A and B are shown apart, each in its own frame.
Chain A
Amino acid sequence: MISGQTLASLLVAAIVRAGLYTLSATGLSLIFGVMNVPNFAHGELYMIGAYIAVFTFSGLNLPPLVAILFAAVGGFIIGAAIEKSIFYPLRKRSERRKLWIMNTFLVTVGLSLLLKNLIQVIAGTKYRGIDHYWQGGLDLAGLSISVDRVVGVGIAIIVVIAFWLFLQKTTVGKAIRATAQDEVGAKVVGINLDNIHTLTFALSAMLASIAGASLLSLNPAYPTMGLMPLFSSWFVVILVGLGNIAAVPVGALIISLIETFAAYGFGSGWQRLFSLALIILILLFKPRGLFGSDVKGIWER
């Protein structure tokens, strides 16, 4: 039997994990929905955030929140640059929309290689971590949790809600959603698709970058650190349905609960097999995901 104490700490661990999965998976789902790009380089955007944060926090000795802010802005700028230099020309050149999805997937595979190894050239393979952003721990139901974790989850929740409000309430956010639903229609009503695509990719990079920066004390920065968040983001997004942004937090919670409890029950290392098995079953029996989404037709090409 699991003791109450252990259960509580497992649940807290799962919630922390879920918050960060939500943050990184939201960006992945967003570029699925709007640009129809299945991004394999998403983990590298997370990695960029971690490097920017470690540089500003330990290198420049700036305060933690400033470091995370820098990561957000840096991620945004780098995301915009990537969109303009790679996806924009690709979009202009691909006459056959049919090939777009798999072609962009392969381009992002190349992009992932490129970013990972560029960082390695610049910063080497050394792990660059920090002990903590904020000292100390909090007492929660008799459980001591580091302030970093609490702030990390706090940031994730705030950013996701802010982003949600942005999509629902602002004109630009509405334009992004309109593009996701019907690109031709969006164009007809005068939305500049080029700008929307650049903005979407930049925002997605920003979200991933914030996730990487907030978690720095738990996961140090190193070139291939993006692999784990890449897997988990993909798990979440496939679980709830490609392009279904609204359901991402639920999916993140399901995956984190499975992984946390499987790691506890079967030893760490095996938890991956459990989430993989779940996703494989989903792909077999409900390829549109648990909550479905309308975009599957496009995705099959």
Chain B
Amino acid sequence: MQYLEKIKESNYTNPGLAVLIALAFVPLFISDQYVLQLLISAMMFGTLAMAFDFTVGFINVVNFGFAAFWGIGGYTSALLAVNLGVSPWLGIFVGMAFSAFLGFLVGFLTLRLHGIFAAVMAWFTGLGLMSIVTNWTGLTRGPLGLMSPMFFATMDRGPYFYVILVMAAFSLLALLAIANSKIGLFFRAIGQDEDAAKASGVNPTWYRVLNFTVSTGIAGLIGGFYAHFMGILTPSVMQTSQTIEIMALAYVGGRGSIWGSLIAALIFIPVLTYLQPLMELRLIIYGLVLIGVMIFYPGGISALYRRVFQVSKSEG
């Protein structure tokens, strides 16, 4: 029995965490900036995909406007730094909070919607946010791009590597902790049958909004990292195609596992970026993989792992 305790234990034997711990040693042996850059990118997208999975894999809502929250976090932190001289180290948390606040509102907008209706609502509110950022050129400079101060004075990728590693580990542990608590159980109940959840005394309003707030908060935090890592932001980070890339990773990783998204990103991003000269090829592969997974193996990487290692669903 002791279902909940058992899962808790598995937080620390989780494949995602094991991989992150192993990654912590990489910069000690590899100083190739290109490799570090790839891994930073992979951890960034992996964390975004984990936060995306936290919504789709649990309350079963496709947040198709997800990339907008990533952008909002980045713009908030960058604008604070540029206009008010706020330190990026503080700004990223303000960006996280603002993004979470907007996510909270979108959580309310999608509250009574399910399936494609909820996805479309999230999509259109995301497009609305992007449209504001694009057109409010007095503030954001629109498509010209907003220069944003860097975290570190050095060009070395090493320090950035550890910042995103900490953020990824924090997100993984926080999301798993929630997912494995009774809150996560309620999320899944609501996602699988909202009426039955209500009849069981679960308040869907509270849990759906909570879920959106947490997921978009993490997106905002990673947006802040992106702003002060890249040094420039354009509204294109908020595009639907960014959401699609994140969503593809979450689906390939396997919905409802959280860690599967991270693993998928760590496999796909380096391989596909290696093919970067052929940008189209990378996206064609994403397209094919998404179609293939949906048709042939909807469980994704985490289901494969469970099958190979014979881990029961509640433990994996």
- The interface on chain B, measured as residues whose beta carbon lies within 8 A of the other chain's beta carbons, has a size of 40
CA distance A163 to B290 in the complex (A): 33
Q: Of A93, A117, A300, which contacts B287 at CB under 8 A?
A: A117
Interface core residue of B248, B281, B294 (most chain A CB under 10 Å)? B294
A226-248 with Cβ < 8 A to chain B: 227, 231, 234, 238, 242
CA distance A102 to B244 in the complex (A): 14
Mostly, the B contact residues are helix
In the complex, besides A273-B132, A283-B109, 7 extra interface pairs with C-beta distance below 8 angstroms are A101-B116, A106-B251, A107-B290, A117-B284, A273-B128, A284-B121, A300-B117
Please tell me if the beta carbons of B120 and A111 are within 8 angstroms of each other in the complex: no
Q: Is A269 an interface residue (CB 8 A)?
A: yes
Q: Is A73 an interface residue (CB 8 A)?
A: no
Please tell me if the beta carbons of B287 and A114 are within 8 angstroms of each other in the complex: yes
CA distance A113 to B289 in the complex (A): 11
CA distance A107 to B132 in the complex (A): 29
Residues on the A chain within 8 Å of B280, using CB: 117-118, 120-121
* Interface 9-mer from A4-12, A52-60, A209-217, A274-282: A274-282
> Interface 1/0s, chain B 288-306, versus A by CB < 8 A?
1111001110100000000
CB contacts between A and B, total, < 8 Å: 118
A67-122 with Cβ < 8 A to chain B: 86, 89-90, 93, 99, 101-103, 105-107, 109-118, 120-121
Q: Of A99, A118, A287, which contacts B117 at CB under 8 A?
A: A287
Mostly, the A contact residues are helix
Q: Is A38 an interface residue (CB 8 A)?
A: yes
Q: Is B138 an interface residue (CB 8 A)?
A: no
Q: State how many angstroms separate the Cβ of B278 from the closest Cβ of chain A.
A: 8
> Interface 1/0s, chain B 98-124, versus A by CB < 8 A?
000000000001001111110111001
- Return the chain B residue nearest A224 by Cβ: B241
Residues on the A chain within 8 Å of B279, using CB: 117
> Can you give 15 contacting A-B residue pairs, CB < 8 Å?
A89-B295, A109-B247, A114-B284, A117-B284, A117-B287, A121-B284, A267-B135, A269-B134, A270-B131, A270-B135, A280-B124, A283-B120, A283-B121, A299-B115, A301-B115
Please tell me if the beta carbons of A113 and B109 are within 8 angstroms of each other in the complex: no
B251-297 with Cβ < 8 A to chain A: 251, 279-281, 283-284, 286-291, 294-296
Please tell me if the beta carbons of A283 and B132 are within 8 angstroms of each other in the complex: no
CA distance A273 to B130 in the complex (A): 9
Please tell me if the beta carbons of B295 and A102 are within 8 angstroms of each other in the complex: no
**With A270-B135, A272-B131, A280-B109 known to touch, is A110 a contact of B286 (CB < 8 Å)?**
yes
